[in-house]
Structure 1
Amino acid sequence: MAGVAQLEAFLAADPVVRVRLTSVKGSSPREAGTEMYVTAEALFGTIGGGRLEHIAIDAARALLASGDLAQVLDVPLGPEIGQCCGGRVEVSLQRMSEGDRAAALAEARAEAEAAPAVYILGAGHVGRALAAQLQHLPVRTVLIDQRAEELAQSTAQVETRQSAIPEIDIMTAPAGSAFVVLTHDHGLDFLLASAALERGDAAYVGLIGSDTKRAKFRSWCLKHCDGLTIEDLICPIGAGGSRDKRPAVIAAFVVADVIAALTSETAAEAPVRGNAPLIAAQ
């Protein structure tokens, strides 16, 4: 919950104005409900950037300087302000009370806890590169390995978990999770990939390897998994049309695929087991 900690530190400043898109008509950089926070010298979050955001920031700082408590802006997103979205937004500005700050933090914590989960199964070079990139995205990332020494090499601000039986981590993951399998052992890769596919509710299952490895895995599933289909398996992962095999490059392609899967309409409509929401509220 690094983002929550950063917001908590920001809201400790005094005073703070909450800037919120309360109404959106037509095209807009962000949707209704999007918020950012403004002090006299700093910003947290964004309502979409561009001229709209500059107008809102200037208005928020003018409100702080005047001592007023609230203001509502009606902003056309067209030639009038040098923006070409073509919509119209209503922006609420409100000086935050202690209660407002507590409510904002509670909402941020709830969103963080509801964020979709990405399980990286293997803390080798590519696994650590994935964790390094996913730490900046609105997902709950769990880096899992049987080897403590590999986990110790990760410096990403994500959950790390030494697990002797990572199949259990897969079985107990929330519905709609993403699983990226890239351990140090092909046999373990097959066990974990099949466990993720057998769930039937994963948003993404990826297995590191080649087309040959995919074919071997298909044969292995036919023999050991009662004909489990692997049609939903992504293998190879991180292709993207690139021949570059550096871990950071592979990770970049994989992260793009994972986030696309987690935020797709299909993922949003997938069945949910228990009370775990599939994607975080925006």
Structure 2
Amino acid sequence: MSFDLAEAGRAVAAHGPVVRVVVAEVAGSAPREAGAAMLVWAGGQEGTIGGGALEYGAAARAREMLAKGGAARLDRMPLGPALNQCCGGAVTILSECWDAEGLRGLAEAEVVARPLPGTTGEMPMAVARILRRARGEGFAPAARIVQGWFVEPVTAPARDLWIWGAGHVGRAIVAVMHPLPGFRLTWIDTDAGRFPAVPDGVVQRIAADPGEIVTEAPKGADHLVLTFSHALDLDLCHRLLDHGFASLGLIGSETKWARFRSRLAALGHAPDRIAAIRCPIGDPRLGKHPQAIAVGVAAEMMTLKSAKARTEKERAG
């Protein structure tokens, strides 16, 4: 888990100062791992540290901090004796108030390291070594407490996912993918009336001819093509094959995909390039319900993301 500066920035812009509640350390069994975090403001919250009495109490303390202007606090909670939860372990919870100025100070950080409440003295050498490795080698440490300091990586730049189509499947995919960390969603369709309410942080694009904005997509973006029109789907696949992509998924049956392969070949695309398109998207075993397709797509995208991260780590190391 990591410190998502973009997510925190959006919350501060919408609600003013927020308290970020993060699991700093875990001993034994616990609902969430170290680094899991939630953001709390006076009228709401997002994210989770595991729910139940642990989260309820942490949110209440965070709102008290906001109301009284309290400093950062550290709470060590044995889940069984203190909260009557059955996990049996213990967690250490760090709660910190963040505003726009504080987040700006972290803008260039690869790793965020700060002393825990009650810790005094200079930065330990162990923490300094972690920061040097982060700057020099791209090292991303696990979120943890190191000699009285809390160290956690900053969320890597978001991975671009362009979703072409705001029909039932597009809506389901956005609903599932939007809360997941590490993705930046761009959602495209031909008319504003085709969209429901667009979640915060999702970029909405309206284009009478969506193919005309293909060239605006980053070369390394992932794409999901699922418009209302087979002709539009084909045009987008054709243009994206010319433009380039990290991955490209197309909604459709085996019959549709066979026709598309033939037509894309007739448009001059080589068989190996056409084969880079995934069709159908999702997991056919889950069925064709929009939400079932969305769950399968999310699993695909998370698997692709994990594989890409492993490859980049191997190349760096």
Tell me which interval the TM-score lies in, with the shorter structure as reference length: 0.5 to 0.7
Kindly state the Cα deviation for residue 6 of structure 1 after the two structures are TM-superposed.
4.2
CA RMSD of aligned residues (A): 4.2
Report SS of the residue matched to 1:114.
coil
Q: 1:178 aligns with which of 192, 203, 222?
A: 222
Q: 1:255 aligns with which of 290, 294, 305?
A: 294
Kindly state the Cα deviation for residue 212 of structure 1 after the two structures are TM-superposed.
0.8
In the alignment, is the contact (CA less than 8 A) between 1:119 and 1:142 conserved in 2? yes
Report SS of the residue matched to 1:261.
helix
Structure 2 counterparts to residues 32-43 of structure 1, below 5 A: 32-38=34-40, 42-43=44-45
**Alignment partners' CA distance in 1, 2:239 and 2:88:** 48
Match of 2:53 in 1: 51
What CA deviation, in whole Å up to 9, does each residue of 1:213-248 have, x standing for no partner?
Answer: 1222333455532212526613165745436xxxxx
What CA deviation, in whole Å up to 9, does each residue of 1:147-202 have, x standing for no partner?
Answer: 4xx34431332411316462762673252x43221234434423433555674622
Match of 1:226 in 2: 270
What is the letter of the counterpart of residue 47 of structure 1?
I
What CA deviation, in whole Å up to 9, does each residue of 1:81-117 have, x standing for no partner?
Answer: 33344543211234x3xx7553347879x98993333
Which structure has the higher relative contact order (CA within 8 Å, separation 6+)?
Answer: 1
**Alignment partners' CA distance in 1, 2:162 and 2:66:** 43
Q: 1:118 aligns with which of 119, 140, 161?
A: 161
Give the structure-1-normalised TM-score: 0.66
In the alignment, is the contact (CA less than 8 A) between 1:51 and 1:81 conserved in 2? yes
Match of 1:206 in 2: 249
Q: Is 1:169 matched up with 2:207?
A: no
**Alignment partners' CA distance in 1, 2:292 and 2:215:** 23
**Alignment partners' CA distance in 1, 2:87 and 2:215:** 43
Match of 1:103 in 2: 102
Closer/same/farther in 2, CA of residues 2 and 162 from structure 1, 3 Å limit: farther
Match of 1:143 in 2: 187
Match of 2:259 in 1: 216
Match of 1:278 in 2: none
What is the letter of the counterpart of residue 103 of structure 1?
G
Match of 1:154 in 2: 195
**Alignment partners' CA distance in 2, 1:61 and 1:186:** 51
What is the letter of the counterpart of residue 230 of structure 1?
A
Number of residues paired by the alignment? 253
What CA deviation, in whole Å up to 9, does each residue of 1:57-93 have, x standing for no partner?
Answer: 4554666788753432222345663334454321123
Match of 1:93 in 2: 95
In the alignment, is the contact (CA less than 8 A) between 2:253 and 2:279 conserved in 1? no
User: Where does structure 2 lack aligned partners over 5 or more consecutive residues?
Assistant: 1-5, 110-153
In the alignment, is the contact (CA less than 8 A) between 2:281 and 2:293 conserved in 1? no
Q: 1:192 aligns with which of 218, 236, 251?
A: 236
In the alignment, is the contact (CA less than 8 A) between 2:165 and 2:226 conserved in 1? yes
Percent identity of equivalent pairs: 34
Report SS of the residue matched to 2:296.
helix
Report SS of the residue matched to 1:263.
helix
**Alignment partners' CA distance in 1, 2:65 and 2:227:** 54
Match of 2:25 in 1: 23
What is the letter of the counterpart of residue 30 of structure 1?
R
**Alignment partners' CA distance in 1, 2:213 and 2:44:** 44
In the alignment, is the contact (CA less than 8 A) between 1:197 and 1:230 conserved in 2? no
**Alignment partners' CA distance in 2, 1:60 and 1:51:** 14
**Alignment partners' CA distance in 1, 2:21 and 2:230:** 51
Kindly state the Cα deviation for residue 266 of structure 1 after the two structures are TM-superposed.
1.6
